[in-house]
Structure 1
Amino acid sequence: MKYFFIFVNILLSGCAMQNKLIPIQDSTLAIKKRTPQTPAVTLPPPTPETQNNIWQRIFDHYQLQDINHPRITQEIQRYLKNPKFLEIIQKRAKPYLYLIAEATEKQGLPGELALLPIVESGFQPNAYSSGKAAGLWQFIPSTGRMFGLKQNWWYDGRRDVYTSTQAATRYLKKLNKEFDGDWLLTLASYNAGKGNVRKAIKKNKKKHRSTSYWSLPLPQETRSYVPRLLALARILDNAEHYNLPQPVVENKPHLGLVNIKSQLDLKKAAEIAQIPLKELLQLNAGLNRWCTPPDGPHHLLLPIAKTSLFKKNLAELPLDEWVTWQRHKITSGENLGVIALKYRTSVKAIREVNRLSSTLIRTGKFLLIPTGSTGKYNTFVATVNAFTNENTVKKTVVYTVKENDNLWLIAQKFTTHSSKIARLNHLKLNSYLQPGQKLRIPQKKTTTFPQQSSISKALQKIYYTIRRGDSLSHISKKFNVSIGNLRKWNKIGRYIQPGQKLKLLINITQPSG
C-alpha cells in the first residue's frame, strides 16, 4: 500500500537539536528460516499512568522495541532534527488516539501500529497520495473495497476515520497471519503489497540469502517505512530522554459514533449537535456531499460531549425535515417540466440549484431536486452553493503599452492570448499600439472555496512521477482530470518523459477511477 509522504511535506527547517540517542546495536538478522519477529506476549496490567494517559496505554502495548538496526537510528536522527513535526502530529492525533488504540487492542496488534497513521498520513483524514491512496490509513481503492470501504459519489470510507480504522486493523491482522507472525514483513506488505514482499522473499531464497525484512530487496520507500515507524515509537516513548515534551492525552473517548436511521442534512446535523459545520465535516471526512448517503453508512462521529444532545434533538426532529432535497437520475423522455411536476417543485428551482444555463438535459445524468417550503428551499440553495461549487473570479490588470509592443508580445508576457486582449479592448489583432496606451489584460480565473465546503480540503495537490508507457491521456483518466488542466498546471506541451514530475490538483470527493 502506497503511503502518504506527509513526513517529507511537513518537515520544517531549523536548527538540529543536540540530543544523545539511546544506544542501538547493529543487528543483522541473517536467518535462513523466517520466524515470528516477536513471540506472543502477555500484556501488562494497567497502571495508574496507563489509566490516565492514552499515549502511555499505547506504549504499554509495544511489542517491537527490542528490534535494533542502523536504519532505525538514522530515522530517529531525522525526526529529532524536526521537533516541530512531532509537536504537530501529536495535536492532530489527539481526537483519534482513543478510537485507534481500542481497535488495535481488539485485534491484538502491537501498540506501535496505533502510530501507523503518523507515517501514512500525518494523522490527516483527507490525505491523498499520487498512488490514489486516501485517508488516515492510506487505503488504495481496490484494497479499501476488499475490506468493505464503500467509495461512491456520496461517500469514501477510506476517509471515514471510524470505518477505515476498523478495516486497517483487520487488514494488518490478516497480513500478519499470512506472514507467520512476522510484524516487520506485515508492515512491509501493508506498504508495498504482499505480492511484492513475497517476490522479494522468493528472490532471496533462490540466492540462499536471509529472508528477514532487513535483508529483502524492497523499494526504497518500503525500506524506510518500517524503521520510520519504529523510530517514532521509540522517540515518543522516550520523549524526556530526547528533551522533548512528554505526550499526554486523557485516556477516555474524545469522539462518539452516533447511528442515525436515514439520510440527514449535515447543516441540520451541525445545528442540532450545536457544533460548527466545519468541525462536523472535519470529523466526518468520508462524506463527499452535504448530506449523509441514502444507502448508508448511517453514522456520524461527534465530540463525545455532544452525542447525548444530538440524539435528543434528532429524536425530536420530524423525519421530513432531515433532508430538503433528492437526487434524481434523468430517464429517457423526461424534461424539466415533468421532473418538476413529479417532485412538486418548479423548473426555475431545479435550474438554479443545478446551475443549468438552459432547459436541455441529458438521459443518465443526475439532478438535485429541492423540496419543502420556500424557506427550506432558500437554505438548501445556499448550502448547495457553499458545498459544491467553487466561486471563480475573473481578474483584469491594466497595462501601459511600451515602445515596440504588439498584442502578441503582451499576451506572451501575461500568459494569455492576443485575441482575448483584443476582444477585451475592442481592438483588431493587427491594431497599431501607441506607447502610453492603456490596455486591460485578462488574467487567469482565481478560484476561491468557501470555508464550509463539503470537504474543507476537497482539492489536494499531489505530484506524480511519469513512468515508461505513460501518456497525458492515461494520466488524465487515472486521476479524473482533463488533459488541458494537466498541461496548464505544469506549463507543458503534448510530450512528456519518464521521470518527469507533474503537479496535479485532485478532487478527492470524486469516486476513484
Structure 2
Amino acid sequence: MKPDRLALALALVLLAACQPNVRPDPLEPEEPATPVKVAPDAATPRTPPPAPAEVVLPDPIDTGAEVFDRMRARFSAPICVKGEHNRAWRKRYAGHPASFARHVEQILPLMGYVVEEIERRDLPGEFALLPIVESWYRPAAIGPGGPAGMWQMIASTARNHGIRIQPGYDGRLSPVESTDAALDYLETLDGLFDGEWRAMAMGYNAGEYRILRAFRNSGDQRVSGESRLPRGLSNTTYDYVAKLHALACLFEKPERHNLVLPREARFTPLVRVSLPAGVASLDQAAMRLGVDASALRTLNPAYRQGRVAAGVPRDVLAPATALARLAQAGTVDAGGDPASPETGATHGDAGRVHEVRRGDTLSRIAARYGVPLRELFDLNGLTGRSILRPGQVIRIDP
C-alpha cells in the first residue's frame, strides 16, 4: 500500500473510533435479555447475605407521592424499554389518563401496604404492580377459571402456600394472608432465579418448573418479555412481563404518557390487626377498633358475610385509627383490653420462642412478634426457602 493511502486508512480508523455510540432513543433502551443464574439444586438453601444494619422506616405511607417514590426506588433499570409489546401495554393502560389516575388513587391504601411489605422483604418494586395486573387490587376479585383475590391464586396453589380455604372463609380473599403467601412465593423464586425479577414474574405466572423446563429445552437462560425468551412459553407469560414493564414506565415517566398521578392524594394507611377470640364478626371488630364497618368488610372479604368463625386465621387489615394502631402495637387487643400474650408464644431461658402451627410462615411469625424477618433467619439458621413444620420451635429473641 502506498504511503499516502496508508495514512488515509489510518485516519479513517481513528475517526471511526472517536464516533459516539448513538441509540435511536436514549430514553427507551432495548430490554436486556439477561441470562439467569438458576440455583443448581432447588432443595439446597442459599447462604443468606450478612444482615444489613437495621433501617428505621419513616412514618406509615399516607400520600400518593410516598407510595410512588418508594416503589420506584426499588425498580430495576432499564424501566422504560423499546418494543411493540411494551408500547401496546403502555397505550392500553394509559389510553384514558384521567381514568387511570382515578383508579390508582382508589387503590393507594392497599398499594401502600404492599409497598411496605415489599420493602420489609427487600423484593423488587415491580412486584407492587402485580396486583394491578392481576385484579387492580380488588380483594374480592374472582377471575375466569377460579383464581381469587387481589393476587389471583387458584385454590391448589393457595393451599400449597399455606392459605386456608374452608366453608365460611377463603384466605385468597384476605389481603393479609394472600399477600403473605404471594410474597413468600416470590422470595422462593428470588432464591431460585438469583433475583432476576422478570424470571421471578414468569415463574409466578406460569410456575417455576415451566420456566426451568424452558431454560433446559431451549439451552438458553436469557429472559425477556419483549424478545419472547426463553422460548417455549405462552404469550400470556411473555405479556405478563411486558405489562409489568409498561406499568413501571407509566409510574416512572408519567409525563411522557400525559398522566398526572395523584401524588398529593392523602389517605388513611392500613394496619394489620389480630382479632382476639372474643370477636365473632367484622362488625363487632369495627366498633371496637373505631373504624367504619362497611370499610372493614370491604377490605377483608375472606370472612363470608363478615362472620369470623372459630379456627380461621384472624389477622385483618384495618384503617389506622388510634385504637387500631394500639392493637397493632400490642398495647391493647381489638376488644380494647390489655393485650393477651401472643398465641403460640412461650418463654425459654434465652427469651421468647414460638412453636410452629399449621399454616405458619416466617413472615407471619415476624409480623406477629414485631421482629425483623432477617433476624429470625439468622437466629434460627433459616432462609426464605426453608420449610416450617408443625411442632418446630422458632427462637424469637437472641
TM range (shorter): 0.5 to 0.7
Q: Give the structure-1-normalised TM-score.
A: 0.50
User: Which residue of 289, 312, 315 corresponds with 1:299?
Assistant: 315
* Cα offset, 1:83, TM superposition: 2.2
- 1:268 is aligned to 2:284: yes
Aligned counterpart, 2:223: 212
User: Which residue of 233, 257, 272 corresponds with 1:242?
Assistant: 257
Aligned counterpart, 2:81: 68
Q: Cα 1:301–1:25, aligned 2, differ >3 Å: closer, same or farther? A: closer
- Residue 79 of structure 2 contacts residue 249 of structure 2 at CA under 8 Å; is this kept in 1? no
Aligned counterpart, 1:53: 66
- Residue 99 of structure 1 contacts residue 253 of structure 1 at CA under 8 Å; is this kept in 2? no
- Residue 276 of structure 2 contacts residue 334 of structure 2 at CA under 8 Å; is this kept in 1? no
| 1:463-478 equivalences in 2 (<5 Å) | none
| 1:39-188 equivalences in 2 (<5 Å) | 53-66=66-79, 68-70=81-83, 71-188=85-202
Q: Per the alignment, in what secondary structure is the counterpart of residue 258 of structure 1? A: strand
The superposition leaves residues 398-456 of structure 1 with CA deviations (integer Å, 9 ceiling, x where unpaired) of: xxxxxxxxxxxxxxxxxxxxxxxxxxxxxxxxxxxxxxxxxxxxxxxxxxxxxxxxxxx
How far apart are the structure 2 equivalents of 1:120 and 1:223? Answer: 15
Aligned counterpart, 1:278: 294
- 1:254 is aligned to 2:269: yes
How far apart are the structure 2 equivalents of 1:271 and 1:90? Answer: 29
How far apart are the structure 2 equivalents of 1:65 and 1:47? Answer: 27
Higher relative contact order (CA 8 A, sep 6+): 2
* Cα offset, 1:253, TM superposition: 6.6
Task: Give the letter for the 1:307 counterpart.
Answer: A
Aligned counterpart, 2:46: none
* Cα offset, 1:267, TM superposition: 2.9
User: Which residue of 36, 52, 55 corresponds with 1:34?
Assistant: 36
* Cα offset, 1:249, TM superposition: 6.3
Aligned counterpart, 1:24: 28
The superposition leaves residues 370-420 of structure 1 with CA deviations (integer Å, 9 ceiling, x where unpaired) of: xxxxxxxxxxxxxxxxxxxxxxxxxxxxxxxxxxxxxxxxxxxxxxxxxxx
**Structure having the higher Rg:** 1
The superposition leaves residues 273-320 of structure 1 with CA deviations (integer Å, 9 ceiling, x where unpaired) of: 444432121011211243212013123322102526985882369xxx
Identity, in percent, stands at: 26
Aligned counterpart, 1:230: 245
* Cα offset, 1:61, TM superposition: 1.6
* Cα offset, 1:35, TM superposition: 4.5
Task: Give the letter for the 2:206 counterpart.
Answer: A
* Cα offset, 1:243, TM superposition: 2.2
Q: Cα 1:82–1:307, aligned 2, differ >3 Å: closer, same or farther? A: same
* Cα offset, 1:160, TM superposition: 0.7
Task: Give the letter for the 2:261 counterpart.
Answer: Q
* Cα offset, 1:172, TM superposition: 0.7
Q: Cα 1:308–1:57, aligned 2, differ >3 Å: closer, same or farther? A: closer
* Cα offset, 1:255, TM superposition: 1.4
Task: Give the letter for the 2:118 counterpart.
Answer: T
Q: Which runs of 5+ in 1 are unaligned?
A: 1-20, 318-513
Q: Per the alignment, in what secondary structure is the counterpart of residue 127 of structure 2? A: helix
The superposition leaves residues 66-87 of structure 1 with CA deviations (integer Å, 9 ceiling, x where unpaired) of: 5734122232222232324422
The superposition leaves residues 352-375 of structure 1 with CA deviations (integer Å, 9 ceiling, x where unpaired) of: xxxxxxxxxxxxxxxxxxxxxxxx
How far apart are the structure 1 equivalents of 2:79 and 2:288? Answer: 50
- Residue 160 of structure 1 contacts residue 286 of structure 1 at CA under 8 Å; is this kept in 2? yes
- Residue 53 of structure 1 contacts residue 250 of structure 1 at CA under 8 Å; is this kept in 2? no
Q: Which runs of 5+ in 2 are unaligned?
A: 1-24, 39-48, 339-398
The superposition leaves residues 319-338 of structure 1 with CA deviations (integer Å, 9 ceiling, x where unpaired) of: xxxxxxxxxxxxxxxxxxxx
How far apart are the structure 2 equivalents of 1:47 and 1:257? Answer: 17
Q: Cα 1:308–1:113, aligned 2, differ >3 Å: closer, same or farther? A: closer
How far apart are the structure 2 equivalents of 1:309 and 1:35? Answer: 45
The superposition leaves residues 229-250 of structure 1 with CA deviations (integer Å, 9 ceiling, x where unpaired) of: 1111111122233221133267
Query: How many aligned positions are there?
Result: 286
Aligned counterpart, 1:198: 212
Q: Give the structure-2-normalised TM-score.
A: 0.63
Q: Per the alignment, in what secondary structure is the counterpart of residue 316 of structure 2? A: strand
How far apart are the structure 2 equivalents of 1:204 and 1:85? Answer: 41
The superposition leaves residues 119-171 of structure 1 with CA deviations (integer Å, 9 ceiling, x where unpaired) of: 01111111111232111111221221222211111211111111211221111
How far apart are the structure 2 equivalents of 1:133 and 1:22? Answer: 40
Of the structure 1 ranges 139-148 and 63-72, higher mean CA displacement relative to structure 2 is found in 63-72
Aligned counterpart, 1:314: 335
* RMSD (Å), alpha carbons: 3.4
Task: Give the letter for the 1:168 counterpart.
Answer: A
Q: Cα 1:64–1:132, aligned 2, differ >3 Å: closer, same or farther? A: farther
- Residue 98 of structure 1 contacts residue 253 of structure 1 at CA under 8 Å; is this kept in 2? no
